[in-house]
Amino acid sequence: MTRKHLLGIQDLDREEILEILDTAESFQEVSTRPIKKVPTLRGKTIINLFFEASTRTRTSFEIAGKRLSADVVNVSASTSSVSKGETLIDTAKTLDAMAADCVVIRHSSSGAPNTLARLTKASIINAGDGAHEHPTQALLDAFTIRMRKGRLDDLKVAIIGDVAHSRVARSNVHLLTKFGTHVWLCSTPTLMPQGVQHMVCENRHFLHTTNSMDEAVRAADVIMMLRVQFERMNESFFPSIREYFRYFGLSRRRVEQAKPDVIIMHPGPMNRGVEIATDVADGPYSVILDQVAAGVAVRMSILYLLLGG
Amino acid sequence: MPLKLNYQLMKPAELTATLDHMAEEILKANDGRPLVLLGIQRRGVPMARRMAMRMAEKTQTKPQIGTLDINLYRDDLTRVAFQPVVRRTDIPPNIDDRDVVLVDDVLYTGRTIRAALDALCDFGRMRTIQLAVLIDRGHRELPIEANFIGKKITTKDNEVVEVKLTEIDGEDAIYVMEKT
């Protein structure tokens, strides 16, 4: 891969995505070894710069970096100079002066990683920016789908829930439509962004929207539930949680409308009983923990492709 | 870099005979102990498979086989211009205290084998690690030698030994090429 940064799925082409997924398959094995470590990125410094709360993404990047023998430093906004009023740009320049090789950034503002990429010598990896993109999540989702379904084209993927606040949905739409899979976005009208169809440049006809969960899950190969992001809601988007679950929550009855070999995904963290029923989350169709395991392999692959060689 | 053919070193029949002969030598040297054959990606992998078949014909017991990709252990990752493709590593479980034979096509500088030894150390402590190569072309940069050699040849620095195997290249042959 000749790319220096990973800022979004939108500007990746299919070959680059497949290179990341194929390399991740090779990296899966490292996590099964008695000594779960290879010396590949010895001497490289990776800084996890997280301005928003995160458990799995930050931990996953940290584990991926450490399994490749890189030195991983975690900076969270609440304990850093950011709380003293330092700007993003100054923080980035400071980290650059310490010769970081890679900065993994999560930020509440869309485009923050792109700004950093212009200003630093380090490779920048977007770990989620505002409601824009979360490329590594879409890549690990694609990895999980390909592992279970054997392909990335000609599937029906339903993405259901809080589309408006979801960078995961956007990155997944970009990735899956590139490969020719039908993506159905489903939500309440209040949580469905206006003009969302126009976000896809190529293969626009693979993106569909609906307010009917029945239509979204009917004969679906993959159901991807999105977390209701209460922390980003400063007004009321639906009358009550009970009503939301009734119309947009994934219950066992809904799962039965999908294909018999459907897989259920969730990027986590889950709100059990809000967007997904507990028996579905823990049930036989759920691949939610496979996604977490895939996350480490996919992030190792990305770190290797950006920093190795 | 364009390569021009210098000469053909082996034809299919000789290549097969050489692999069979190496397989028998390995059996003899290991005196009936169960073996693990580890092919180094890429051409060591089909070599290990073929030698294991030959051993199975001779002894009615098939040695375990595995594959090893050494790219994560290279000492020149920051220096090579291209990015090596990381292929699969698949080591049989519990190879502690086993006799392991590393299998590769060409022994040249010895750096691939150095990386392979480092990789194997992460999987435990084997009883022995032996090395079988189809071609030893000299020019070592590290103190590494093979236990089993198909053919030893003298080469010039600007030559390239290309081993072709049907499973990967569609033909069985060895060519000595020259950088022009």
Q: Which residue has the tokens 């290249």?
A: B169
pLDDT at A89 over 90: no
**So what's the pLDDT on residue A225?**
98
Angstrom distances, CA of residue B143 to CA of B108, B110, B124, B138, B151: 11, 8, 23, 12, 19
Q: What is the C-alpha to C-alpha distance for residues A55 and A63, in angstroms, rounded to an integer?
A: 12
- Side chain identity at residue B1, one-letter code: M
How far apart are the C-alpha atoms of A244 and A261, rounded to whole Å? 26
The pTM for the full model equals 0.91
Q: By percentage, how much of chain B surpasses pLDDT 90? A: 86
Residue A150 has pLDDT above 80, yes or no: yes
pLDDT, average across residues A32-57? 92
Compute CA distances B79 → A99, A300, B76, B82, B84, whole Å.
19, 20, 5, 9, 11
| B130 residue type, one letter | Q
pLDDT of residue A53: 87
Separation CA A154–CA A9 (nearest Å)? 19
What mean pLDDT do residues A11-30 have? Answer: 96
Q: Which of A21, A40, A307 to mutate to test the interface with B (most CBs of B within 10 A)?
A: A40
Q: What is the mean pLDDT of residues B38-46?
A: 96
Per-residue model confidence (pLDDT) at position B44:
97
**Minimal C-alpha gap between A204 and chain B (Å):** 33
Among A67, A106, A156, A299, the one annotated catalytic: A106
**Please, what are the domains in chain B?**
19-156 (3.40.50.2020)
What does the mean pLDDT of chain A come to?
Answer: 94
Mutate: best of A300, A301, A304, A305, partner B, most B CBs <10 A: A304
A221 neighbors A260 (Cβ within 8 angstroms): no
CB atoms within 10 A of CB A241: 15
Question: What are the backbone dihedrals phi and psi of residue B134, each rounded to the nearest 5 degrees, phi first?
Answer: -75, -45
Inter-chain residue contact B88 with A26, CB threshold 8 Å: yes
Please give the helix or strand (H or E) that residue B152 lies within, else none.
Answer: strand B148-152
**Tokens standing for A20?**
């990341």
Average pLDDT over residues A43-60: 93
Q: Do B83 and A35 touch (CB under 8 A)?
A: no
Per the CB < 8 Å rule, is B86 touching A35?
Answer: no
Token pair 């990305």 is at which residue?
A302
Query: Quick check: is A227 catalytic?
Result: no
B75 or A123, higher pLDDT: A123
How many CB atoms lie under 10 A from the CB of residue A150? Answer: 7
- Rounded to 5 degrees, what angle do the CA atoms A197, A202, A203 make? 70
Q: Which of A5, A44, A107, A134 is catalytic?
A: A134
Q: Tell me what percent of the residues of chain A surpass a pLDDT of 90.
A: 83
- A52-70 confidence digits (pLDDT tens): 988 899 999 999 999 999 9
pLDDT above 80 for B6: yes
Residue A66 Cα distances to A59, A309, B1, B158, angstroms: 10, 18, 37, 39
pLDDT band (50, 70, 90) for residue A78: confident
- Do the bridges between strand A222-225 and strand A263-265 make them parallel or antiparallel, or are there none, so unpaired? parallel
Check whether A83 has a pLDDT greater than 80. Answer: no
Residue A88 above 90 pLDDT? no
Q: What tens digit of pLDDT does each residue of A102-143 get?
A: 999 999 999 999 999 999 999 999 999 999 999 999 999 999
> Strand, coil or helix: what is A6?
strand
CA–CA distance, A54 with A71 (Å, rounded to integer): 20
Report the amino acid identity of residue A300: M
- Which secondary-structure segment (H or E) carries B3? strand B3-10
A309: pLDDT confidence band, cut at 50, 70 and 90? low
How many CB atoms within 10 Å of residue B176? 18
Least Cα distance to A271 among A305, A248, A255, A300 occurs for: A248
Q: Please pick, among A57, A136, A177, A188, the residue that the annotation labels catalytic.
A: A57
pLDDT one-digit tens code per residue, A180-194? 999 999 999 999 998
Q: How many whole angstroms separate alpha carbon A27 and alpha carbon A308?
A: 14
Q: How far is B96 from chain A (nearest CA, A)?
A: 11
> Between these two residues, A197 and A71, which has the higher pLDDT value?
A71
DSSP-assigned beta bridge partners for residue A156: A182
- The burial of A219, by beta-carbon neighbours within 10 Å (0-12 exposed, 13-18 middle, 19 or more buried), is given as exposed
